[in-house]
Copies of this chain bind each other. A is one copy, B any other.
Amino acid sequence: MQFMQALKDRWSSSNSLVCVGLDPEPAKFPRNFAGDEEGVFAFCRDIADATAQYACAFKPQIAHFAALGAEGALTRLIAHLHAAHPGVPVILDAKRGDIGSTAEQYAREAFDRYAADAVTANPYLGRDSVQPFLDRADRGVVILCRTSNKGAGDLQDLVIDGRPLYQHVAEKVANEWNTHGNCALVVGATWPEQLREVRAIIGDMPILVPGVGAQGGDAEAVVRNAATKDGMGLLVSSSRAILYASSGDDYAEAAARAARELRDTINAARG
């Protein structure tokens, strides 16, 4: 799979900008699922199968597996996603960042071990720390720009030459790091103004937008401020609001409904 082309194809074929986040938290699972590797895999699989038709991408978050020692569940889950939902890109949310020789190991972890189509990465260490990811031209590299959390501005808003750090990151990625055309950026739904500013800098580059749902971001404002002219360019990611829409036996139907409603809200705003 060539990530960028697959993403564009999937935006069209699914008519959806919804990215389904897979963040397993056993304490929130319906009663039939144990917190062991089998339970983690089965719950995430059920949610993915129920929501796939409304999804332009899946985004498993690796910390939720690592905290449980459930790497095996993550491996099985991504293999299942590729087999059952071919054409839906899988973004491993890992936010890795290290010096080049170590970043190569992280690239192997994400792309070879887990067979992810894309990975999230942290830009603080500079371009050479991201290069091993960038060099995998068939895979996507989704770089943190303006994150969804309240403290995002502590560093990201510091002003350099009249513009905040996150805008410098957007500019560097768009103008210098994206030589293979496989970059995207993370900008939180909780920051509609910043979404608009980043879109103005980066042209049609995709933006992964976490923070709708549990974190309070407004999906309509996201579309209004950051969709590309053709109404694409976004992966609006929701995790908890889909995964834990119901803790009853209707967990899969409730997840599908939450994903569909988010898709419809977004599509109404796309006009």
User: Which A residues are closer than 8 A to B by beta carbons?
Assistant: 23, 61, 63-64, 66-67, 69, 71, 95-100, 102-103, 105-106, 108-109, 112-113, 122-129, 144, 147-156, 158-160, 165, 168-169, 172, 210, 215
Contacts and interface: CB of A to CB of B under 8 A. Distances in A.
B105 A127 contact: no
A42 B215 CA distance: 45
A179 to B, nearest CB: 15
Given A98-B63, A160-B160, A151 B124 contact: no
A155 B128 contact: no
A24 to B, nearest CB: 10
Contacts of A61: 102, 105
Contacts of A126: 147, 149-156
B97 A67 contact: no
Contact of A169 (B151, B152, B155, B169): B155
A15 to B, nearest CB: 29
Contacts of A165: 155, 158, 160, 165
Contacts of A109: 63, 66-67
Nearest to A214: B101
19 contacts: A61-B105, A64-B102, A66-B105, A66-B113, A99-B148, A123-B124, A125-B152, A126-B150, A126-B152, A126-B153, A126-B155, A126-B156, A154-B172, A155-B168, A158-B160, A158-B165, A158-B168, A160-B165, A165-B165
